[in-house]
Every structure is written in C-alpha cells, then in structure tokens.
Amino acid sequence: MRGSALRWTLSRGVAAIGTSVLGCAIALRDPEPASCLKGYPVSGPSSKVVHELSFGVDPKIAVDFTWWLATYVKTLLQLPGMQGAKLLAPTAPFAPKPGVVFVLGGPGAGKGTQCSLIVEKCGYTHLSAGDLLRAARSSGSAQGQMIDEYIKEGKIVPVEVTVKLLVDAIKESGAQRVLVDGFPRNTNNVSGWQQVVGDSLTVGGVLFYDCPEEVMQERLLERGKTSGRTDDNLESIKKRFKTYAMETTPVLQYYEHQQLVHRIDGVRPIDAVWADSKAAIDKFEACFAAATKQPISVHLYSSNDPPTAVAEVVARVAKAATQKFGEGAVVVSGRELAIQGSFKAYGYEELRAFD
C-alpha cells in the first residue's frame, strides 16, 4: 500500500477529508456517467460458483483437523471444475459457551430430587433462582438491602437483578453445564434473560416435570411435617399452585413452540422418572456438543463447466473426516453461492483472485 492521501471533495465545497489508502486521488463531484467508476474495475455475474463448506470441529482436535484439511483440500481441487480454495477461521480465540438447562414443574413435582440425581450422575451444577435471591437478601450487601426492601414492600424483584445473580453464579462456579431450577417462572423472566444474557450462554432446553395438583399437594403436606418451611401448609400450597399455573403456562408454551421442552411424568417412581431425565439430558448434550464445536470454513471456487454439486463435496469431506477423526468429531455442512459481481481497488487490475 502506498502512502499518499486520498482526498474526497464534495461538489459544493462542504467538506474535504484526507486519508491514506491505496495511493490514489479521486474527486467526487456531481453524478457523472458510469465512467466515474473507471478507477474501480467491475465485472458482472460470473460463471463461477463458490462452494462454502462449514465445519464444526471438536476443540480437542481443532489444530490437527486444520492441518489435515489444508492437505485434503488439494484432493478436492482435483474434482471437475474446481479452480481454487481459501481456508477461513475466526481470528478471535474460540471459547465454548456454558450450557444451561431450565428446570420447571409445580411445587412438589419432584424437581429437587431429579436435579440432585443429574448433579450426581451427570456432573451438572445446580442453581436455584430462589436460593440465590434469599442468599443475596441476607448477605447485608447493598444489593441484598435493595432486594429486602422490594420483598418487604410486596414488590417483585426486578428480573435484571435475578438474572444477574444467576449469571454471576454461573461465572463463579466455572461450570460448563448448569441446571437453573425454578426459572424462568414467567414471561417477564424470559425477556429479562434474553436481554441480559443474549447469546453468551447456550440454552439446551427445558425439563418440565408434570404432576397433578392432588399428588403435589399430598407430597408437600408430607414434606411440611419435617421441612420447617412456613409455606408447606394447605392455604399457602393452594396459592402457590394458582400462581404457578397462571404464570408458568405461557413460558412452557413459548419454549414448546421452539421444541425445547421435555415433558416428564413426575407421578411415577423416582427411578422411572430418572430414566426419562437421563434421556433428556443426553439430547441436551448433543445440542451442547454441536454448539461447542470450533467453526472453520472453506471457500471452493468452481466453474459450472463441468459442475461438481456441493452435496457431493460435503459427502466426500464428511466421510473422510469421519474416517480420520471418528464419528461426531466433525460436523460438515455446505451451500452453493453464485458470484453476482466482483469489485477491485483502483490500480489493482492485474489481480485475478476476485474475478
């Protein structure tokens, strides 16, 4: 790049801006014929196509895969019509996002028992929004005092506060797999989570333990004999049921629309319920595995004479990657892109790479 100044001069003398780029001077005046673009060679639609291959790679093999792919691309270039290739990878370091599973169910549906089993057998970290709020309230911190004031005045604690407590707890735990128990309770919780968390965490889905009110009521009354909880009485239980049904049903409908809810019959014996919980966790793990694969891309430049279908290329690469690295280590997808036009910087007509 040569270091002279590019000066843009507006036709009516409003402003002039100088900058160093590509060593040329261009005056932008009132609109002129297409010749005003003569410094920027332009080509129209091309007979070439681009096969864009996307790879999701297990971070453990990312370095080995990249070296292998650089060699394997030479094999792909021997296919009919292939003319060149570019290997692309993100410049920022890859950091897998923690995976989150929401756990919902009415009071006494068996959430706590199943969460304990998931923690024990699957290595998840269990967080309860209610427990975090209670701990913060009693901490004596400024935030705890604010939470205490809301609760004393009968107001709902702002959802941003609850979500921040959850996010901070996830960060402090360092966990890659987290159960969030009893959240989101309502649609306000859902929107608050989306606004605060964004895409910094991966939500694998929702475990919903379905149980009739009469069964949950019997369980809670039995628990109340030894739990010491003031809300394990018949009057409080009925209020909790009503609030739960009214607020949580829209949340379930929202996530069901996204096919993220796993409904589990919570009436059955613990072992039977656990079998379904474990099956759901296995599905979530498949989702998390796909989300934690390092992205790598290849652009293959091809002519349509003779053509090689992108599906054929994807099948070849997927088969070779599986043979080399094992089943599921690499996920391959692809699409074909048409070249609608090419643009070059002034003075670089001799370059052919982007034709």
Q: Is 189 labelled as part of a ligand binding site?
A: yes
Q: Is 219 labelled as part of a ligand binding site?
A: no
Q: Is 184 labelled as part of a ligand binding site?
A: yes
Q: Is 162 labelled as part of a ligand binding site?
A: no
Q: Is 112 labelled as part of a ligand binding site?
A: yes
Q: Is 134 labelled as part of a ligand binding site?
A: yes
Q: Is 183 labelled as part of a ligand binding site?
A: yes
Q: Is 304 labelled as part of a ligand binding site?
A: no
Side-chain half-sphere of 304: how many Cα atoms within 13 Å? Answer: 9
Q: What are phi and psi of 260, to 5 degrees?
A: -110, -5
Pick the closest to residue 109 from 226, 268, 249, 259 (CA basis): 268
Q: Is 182 labelled as part of a ligand binding site?
A: yes
Q: Is 61 labelled as part of a ligand binding site?
A: no
Q: Is 155 labelled as part of a ligand binding site?
A: yes
End-to-end alpha carbon distance in the chain: 21
Q: Is 240 labelled as part of a ligand binding site?
A: yes
Residues 6+ apart with CB under 8 A from 181: 103, 111, 112, 115, 126, 127, 128, 129
- Identify the burial level of 68 via C-beta atoms within 10 angstroms of its C-beta, where 0-12 means exposed, 13-18 middle and 19 or more buried: middle
Q: Is 2 labelled as part of a ligand binding site?
A: no
* Alpha-carbon radius of gyration of the chain: 29
Q: Is 238 labelled as part of a ligand binding site?
A: no
Q: Is 3 labelled as part of a ligand binding site?
A: no
- Which residue ranges make up the annotated binding site? 108-113, 134, 155-157, 182-185, 189, 223, 229, 240, 268
Q: Which residues are annotated as a binding site for CMP?
A: 189
Q: Which residues are annotated as a binding site for a ribonucleoside 5'-phosphate?
A: 134, 155-157, 182-185, 229, 240
Known binding-site residue numbers for ATP: 108-113, 223, 268
